[in-house]
Structures are given as structure tokens and as C-alpha cells.
Amino acid sequence: MSDPVAGAPAQPKLPFWQVWNVSLGFLGVQFGFALQNANASRILSDLGADLHSLSLFWIVAPLMGLIVQPIVGSASDRTWNRFGRRNPYILFGAVAAALGMAFMPNASIAVVFIAPILFGGVMLALMDAAFNVTMQPFRALVSDMVPSQQRTLGYSVQSLLINIGAVLGSTLPFILTNVVGLENTARAGEVAPSVIWAFYVGATVLLGSVLWTVVRTREYPPKQYNAYKGIDEAQLARELAERQTLWQRLRGFMGLLWDMPKTMRQLALVQFFSWFALFIMWVYTTPAITQHVWGVEAKWFDHDYLATLDQIPAHIAAAKGAAGDWVGIIFAAYSLFAAVFSIALTRIATALGRRATYSLSLLLGGLGYISFLLFRGGEAIQVNLLITQVTVPSGALGLLLPMVGVGIAWAAILAMPYAILSDALPASKTGVYMGIFNFTIAAPQVLSALVAGPILHGVFDNRAIYIIVLAGVFMLCGAVSVWFVRETGTAAGELEPGAATA
């Protein structure tokens, strides 16, 4: 991070509700992400994707992150206009994401022009590109607006809002089925009405919350921002005025990669293990619990086998629909646990230190994934979810227990790397480095997408529960790798045991 200029004013601490407003838009972004994470595999399966190819469709998400986030990060670092620095990108991305959410579950209407499964894949790519356009400036916005001593609070609030959005988004199809009364089973080649309407609601929430942040957050003008961050304005002006060829820009970008802070390099290993595991969970939880808990054989996820049938038996369609809805419930559960943990995260990290908190959280997440094996089938029981009652196998109810560990890990993954990293970054290049840091999120997901399907098919004979266990092993490796991270500067001293709470 740049050293403060002598005599420069200290960046003022923000009132809590201003910190809240800075991140509120992330509630809507994660609302949309939660709908995608819980339902994209279900939608793609309904549109014709077979089990071991699901991860290949999902590869568009991290690829969009690899391409979009560094570009948007660099552009937002160089953008100063009357609408702000990060806000224009946040708003544009939200509008595009909302359009993708409206079109993706309606892929069957495009059959005259394009195969529904291909149209669904294209809309998934559009959604993910737009989510990335919105998310990257949000990460940088917290770093811009929140002073160093409140940085962990800022990212903890962001984690809390992310998980509130995830709870709402994950449960919405279930609510629309069991409370509103919409149909949750899908005809061949179509998507269930409850899922379609959930995506409409998600698009609305996304736009509304992002507009709140854009309207309520007034970004610092350049002169004030540079003073707070200790940036040499003359040097910055020369850099911005310099015209560069594409080759020079590529060389400059590679130079940034080469010169990235050491803390970022060390966090990359933790990110690799964490996000490899998360990607597996998002892609394969639906088939895993449909097979392991509801007892549906793997052949019912085989596109070639289904193509030989006139229609899917009613009991199979009902089981897949019920399992798909229950995935929304357990995803909401881990997001709820993460939201609760986020409230206490700052104090826990203050008491234990950032690395210990981060490592323990990933450990609990890994054990949560592995324990999926313990919950299989069982007798049908009635569960009161306050808003409605539903009958599920006892093993499905038991899956709420592993979600405690997964939720704790998720909260830490959303907050701790950024809290550790933000003070190690030069203020004038926060956006581009946050974009580069997204490589550590996207790259493991791309690799997971390429290898998870062949592993599931060739090693586990399409028994998806075992690839969830593999995700647990990777998360445990992440817990160990945290201890190789060395914090620097304010990040090192802010939350050591016994330090004052921000």
C-alpha cells in the first residue's frame, strides 16, 4: 500500500450504516448468484445436459471471471466521472445480469432459433459475465471507501449481506412451490414454473439493491481520494496520460503479475483449494443428494438413456423436483449460518488472529463436505419450516448439520482473504489487483470444471456423493495452506490476538 503523504488528511471512519450502504448491492448480486448456484444444474439437466457434462457448462462462470474482472478492474481504476469511479460499472453489470436472469430459464422458447441447451449455456455465460462486471468494482469500492482500520468490518458486512441474499435466493423456488403453489416439476426440455418465476424475482431484487448502493454511496472525488490514499497526483496523471500500444499494455499487465504482493501469492494457494471445492459443491450437490438421499439411480441423469423414453416416470420427476428444492434449502442453510458467523467474524478474528480464524473455518467446511456420506435415505419425516411443512427423507434433514461447517467456511472465504490482502495493495491499482486476484478464484474452478466430470464418470461411476467427499479433502488442504500466508503492514497488526476491535 502507498505510504501516506506527509501532512495528508486521514481517511475518516464511516458510520456503520454508511458501511452498510456501500455493500447493500451485493445482497442482490448474491441473490442472483444463489439462484444460479442452486438451480443452474437443475435447469441444464431439464434442458438436456447429462451428468458428467454439467461441469463443462459451468466452466463459463470462471472463464468469464478470468476475462472480465481484470479488464473491469483496470478500467475502473482509470475512470473518474460525475457518476463515480466504480458505480458506473456496478450499475451496468447489474442491468445485464438481470436480463440474463430473465432469459435463461426461458431457453425452451428459443427452440425455433437455437437448441435450448445451447441457449441456456449462452445465457449462463451472459449472467456470469455481468455478475463479474458488477462484483469486481464492489470489492474495490469497499477498499476505496472504508478506511484501513474498518476494513475487516467492511468485508464482514459485505459477507453478511452476501449471505442474506443467498438465503433469500436459495429458498425462493421452494417458497414459490410450497407456499405460493407453483409447479416444481418440469416437462421434458422445459424448466419448472417455480424456477422461472424465482429468476424473475431475483432480477428485480438485484436491480433494486444495486440502485440503492449507487444512489446512496457518493464516491470520493479524485483529489480527495488521492490525498486519503497517499497517491502522488503528478505521477498518476503521467501514467494515465501515457498512450500505450496493446503490446505495452500486455507487458505492463504481466509486470503486475510478476510484481504482485507476496501476500497475494500465498493466498493464491488457499484460494485454489477453497474454490476447487466450492465449484464441485455448486455443480454436483443436486445429483449427489438426489442419488444418495432420494435413491434415484444415476441413469436418470443420463441424457442418452432419457432420450430412449417417451416420458420420465412421475415418481422420478417428483423425486428430482423435491431434491432440487431441498438443495435450495440446504444452500440457504449454509448461507444463513455464514450470515450469523459473519456477525461475529471480526471479534473472533480479533481474539484468535486472522490466520487461525481462516484455517479453522476451512477445516470445519471440509469436515462438513465429508460428512455428507453419513446422511442417506431414511424414513419419510415431516419438517416444519415455519413458512410451510414438507415431507422429506430423514437423511435430507440430517444434511443441515454439515451445512454449519460449510457456512462457516463460506463466510471466511468471502471476507478473510480480502481483509488480509487489501492493505498489501497499492491504492492506485486496487481495482486491477482485485481483478487479478480473481484469477485465484476462477482458475481453480476452470480446472475443477475440466477434471470433475471425468473423475465422476471414470473413478466414481457417476456416484456424485463421492465427488462431494473429494471437495471436502480439498477444503482440508486449504485449511493447512492458510498457515503459509504471511500478513504485512496494517493487515498483520490489526487483528492479532489482543488487538483492539476496529
Q: Which residue positions in the chain have pLDDT lower than 50?
A: 1-6, 490-502
CATH number at residue 171: 1.20.1250.20
Query: Is residue 393 within 8 Å of residue 294, measured between CB atoms?
Result: yes
**Per-residue pLDDT at 369:** 96
**Per-residue pLDDT at 405:** 96
| Interatomic CA distance for residues 435 and 72, integer angstroms | 7
Whose CA is closest to 263, among 149, 417, 421?
421
Q: Do the domain assignments include residue 241?
A: no
**Per-residue pLDDT at 21:** 85
Beta bridge partners of 383: 390
For 295, the grid coordinates are 435413491
Whose CA is closest to 169, among 202, 207, 209?
202
**Per-residue pLDDT at 497:** 30
| Interatomic CA distance for residues 170 and 285, integer angstroms | 13
Domain that holds residue 166: 16-218+251-494
Q: Is 152 exposed, middle or buried, given 0-12, 13-18 or 19+ CB atoms closer than 10 A?
A: buried
Q: Do the domain assignments include residue 11?
A: no
How far are the Cα atoms of 16, 19, 74, 78, 423 from residue 150, in angstroms, in the given order? Answer: 10, 9, 24, 25, 11
Q: How many domains does the chain have?
A: 1
How far are the Cα atoms of 131, 392, 427, 438 from residue 97, in angstroms, in the given order? Answer: 6, 34, 28, 19
**Per-residue pLDDT at 2:** 43
Q: Do the domain assignments include residue 239?
A: no
Residues 6+ apart with CB under 8 A from 243: none
Q: Do the domain assignments include residue 223?
A: no
Q: Summarize pLDDT for 200-252 with one digit per residue, the tens.
A: 999 999 999 999 988 888 887 777 777 777 766 666 666 556 666 656 665 66
Judged by DSSP in three states, 185 sits in coil
Q: Do the domain assignments include residue 55?
A: yes
How far are the Cα atoms of 77, 108, 168, 442, 493 from residue 458, in angstroms, in the given order? Answer: 45, 31, 36, 25, 48
**Per-residue pLDDT at 3:** 41
Length of the chain: 502
H or E segment at 13? none
Q: Do the domain assignments include residue 414?
A: yes
Whose CA is closest to 54, among 466, 373, 443, 454?
454
Confirm whether pTM is higher than 0.85: no
**Per-residue pLDDT at 221:** 78
| Interatomic CA distance for residues 318 and 48, integer angstroms | 17
